[in-house]
Structure 1
Amino acid sequence: MHTILIRCLSPRVILAITFLSLTLNASTGNYPQWNFHFPLSNPTTISGSFGEIRTGHFHAGIDFTTDQRTGFPITAIDDGYVIRIAVSPTGYGKAVYIAHPNGYTSVYAHCEWFSDKIDAIVTELQYQKKSFALDVNFQPGEIPVKRGELIALSGNSGGSGGPHLHFEVRETDGERPINPHFFEMPVTDETPPVIEAIRIYPLDEGSTINGSSQPLYIPAVFHDGRYHLKGNPDIMVSGTIGVGVQTIDYAGENWRRNGIYTIKLMVNSSQWFMSSMDGFHFHETRYVNSHIDYAFRKSTGKTIQKSFVDENNRLPIYTTTPERGRIQTQPGKSYDLEYDIADPYGNISRLSFKMKGIEADPEATKGAEQHLLYIDPFNPYFISMDNFKARFPANSFYTKVPAVFELIPGNGIGIGTYFKVLSEDVPVHNYFDITIPIPDEYKGVKGLTGASISKGKLSYAGGKVEDGNMKIRTREAGIYCLAIDTVPPTIKLVGAPAGMDYSNNEKISIEIKDDFSGIDSYNCYINGEWMLFDYDLKSNRLNGFFRNLRIKPGVPQVLEVQISDKVGNKSSLTVEFKYK
Structure 2
Amino acid sequence: MKYLSLLFFLFACPLNLISQDSTYLWPTNSGKFLSSTFGETRSAHFHAGLDIKTWGREGYKVFASKDGFLDKLLITNKGYGKAIYIKHHDGSYTVYAHLQRFNEQFQGIADSIRVNELNYSYTFEQSFEDQRIKVKKGDIIGYTGSTGIGPPHLHFEIRNNLNQPINPLLSNLAVKDTVTPVFSSILIEPLTVKSSVSGSFFPQEVHPINIINDTTYFDTVFVDGDFGLSANVYDQANSVNNKYAVYELMLILEGRTLYHEKLDRFDFAKAYNMFVNRIPAVNSGKRDFQRLFGQQKFGHPFLFEESQFSATEQGRFEVVARDYYGNQSVAVIPVVKETRTDLRYSHKNFNKHWTNNWIIRNDTLNLDLRKPDQWITWDSTASQKIVTLEDPNFTISRLSSDKHYSLTSPDYEIKVEIDSKTFFETLSLLQDVQYINDTLSIQIGVPELVNRKNLFVQVQLPTIMQGMDHLNLYQFRKGEEPSFIDSWVSGTTLNAEIPSLGNFIVLNDSLPPVIREPELVTLGNGMQTYTVKTDDNLSGIDFESALFKINGIRGIPEYDYENNSFTFYLPEFYLEPENKIYLKVSDKAGNFTDKSFLHHIK
Normalised to the residue count of structure 1, the TM-score between the two structures is: 0.84
Identify the residue that residue 262 of structure 1 maps to in structure 2: 248
Identify the residue that residue 436 of structure 1 maps to in structure 2: 459
- Identity over aligned residues, as a percent? 23
Pair 139,81 (structure 1): closer, same or farther in 2 beyond 3 Å: same
Instruction: Decide whether the 8 Å contact of 2:190 with 2:226 is kept in 1.
Output: yes
Corresponding letter in the other structure for 2:546: Y
TM-aligned CA deviation for residue 156 of structure 1: 1.1
Alignment of 1:277-426 (within 5 A): 277-294=263-280, 296=281, 299=284, 301=286, 303-309=288-294, 313-321=298-306, 323=308, 327-329=310-312, 334-357=314-337, 367-371=365-369, 374-385=398-409, 386=411, 387-410=413-436, 416-426=439-449
TM-aligned CA deviation for residue 214 of structure 1: 2.6
Partners of 1:35 and 1:505 in 2: CA distance = 37
Q: Could you give the per-residue CA deviations for residues 85-113 of structure 1, whole angstroms, max 9, x where no partner exists?
A: 01122111111111111221111111112
Instruction: Decide whether the 8 Å contact of 2:580 with 2:599 is kept in 1.
Output: yes
Q: Could you give the per-residue CA deviations for residues 124-183 of structure 1, whole angstroms, max 9, x where no partner exists?
A: 1111112111111102453211111111111111112x111111111243x211100110
Corresponding letter in the other structure for 1:346: G
Identify the residue that residue 500 of structure 1 maps to in structure 2: none
TM-aligned CA deviation for residue 557 of structure 1: 5.9
TM-aligned CA deviation for residue 311 of structure 1: 7.8
Partners of 1:564 and 1:156 in 2: CA distance = 24
Structure 2 residue matching 1:123: 3-state secondary structure: helix
Instruction: Decide whether the 8 Å contact of 2:36 with 2:244 is kept in 1.
Output: yes
Corresponding letter in the other structure for 1:572: D
Identify the residue that residue 507 of structure 1 maps to in structure 2: 529
Corresponding letter in the other structure for 1:153: Y
TM-aligned CA deviation for residue 357 of structure 1: 4.2
Corresponding letter in the other structure for 1:390: V
Partners of 1:117 and 1:550 in 2: CA distance = 17
Structure 1 residue matching 2:235: 3-state secondary structure: strand
Pair 216,327 (structure 1): closer, same or farther in 2 beyond 3 Å: farther
CA root-mean-square deviation: 3.0
Out of 95, 118, 129, the residue aligned to residue 83 of structure 2 is: 95
Q: Please tell me whether residue 147 in structure 1 is matched to residue 120 in structure 2.
A: no
Q: Which moved more, 1:211-220 or 1:100-109?
A: 211-220
Pair 549,508 (structure 1): closer, same or farther in 2 beyond 3 Å: farther
Pair 302,283 (structure 1): closer, same or farther in 2 beyond 3 Å: closer
Identify the residue that residue 480 of structure 1 maps to in structure 2: 504
Instruction: Decide whether the 8 Å contact of 1:423 with 1:478 is kept in 2.
Output: yes
Out of 22, 31, 54, the residue aligned to residue 34 of structure 1 is: 22
Alignment of 1:57-68 (within 5 A): 57-68=45-56
Q: Which moved more, 1:64-73 or 1:556-565?
A: 556-565
Normalised to the residue count of structure 2, the TM-score between the two structures is: 0.81
Identify the residue that residue 163 of structure 1 maps to in structure 2: 152
Q: Which moved more, 1:107-116 or 1:279-288?
A: 279-288
TM-aligned CA deviation for residue 118 of structure 1: 1.1
Corresponding letter in the other structure for 2:475: S
Greater relative contact order (Cα 8 A, min sep 6): structure 1 or 2? 1
Instruction: Decide whether the 8 Å contact of 1:407 with 1:418 is kept in 2.
Output: yes
Instruction: Decide whether the 8 Å contact of 2:487 with 2:495 is kept in 1.
Output: yes
Pair 206,311 (structure 1): closer, same or farther in 2 beyond 3 Å: farther
Structure 2 residue matching 1:122: 3-state secondary structure: helix
Corresponding pairs, count: 534
Partners of 1:81 and 1:104 in 2: CA distance = 11
Identify the residue that residue 77 of structure 1 maps to in structure 2: 65
Instruction: Decide whether the 8 Å contact of 2:259 with 2:307 is kept in 1.
Output: no
Q: Could you give the per-residue CA deviations for residues 5-54 of structure 1, whole angstroms, max 9, x where no partner exists?
A: xxxxxxxxxxxxxxxxxxxx999946535221111223341100001112
Out of 110, 126, 130, the residue aligned to residue 98 of structure 2 is: 110
Pair 298,252 (structure 1): closer, same or farther in 2 beyond 3 Å: farther
Instruction: Decide whether the 8 Å contact of 1:207 with 1:360 is kept in 2.
Output: no
TM-aligned CA deviation for residue 279 of structure 1: 1.2
Structure 2 residue matching 1:445: 3-state secondary structure: coil
Q: Could you give the per-residue CA deviations for residues 260-317 of structure 1, whole angstroms, max 9, x where no partner exists?
A: 11111122322211122111122322221111224x2762646111111268633322
Instruction: Decide whether the 8 Å contact of 1:311 with 1:399 is kept in 2.
Output: no
Corresponding letter in the other structure for 2:311: Q
Partners of 1:338 and 1:87 in 2: CA distance = 45
TM-aligned CA deviation for residue 221 of structure 1: 4.6
TM-aligned CA deviation for residue 204 of structure 1: 1.4
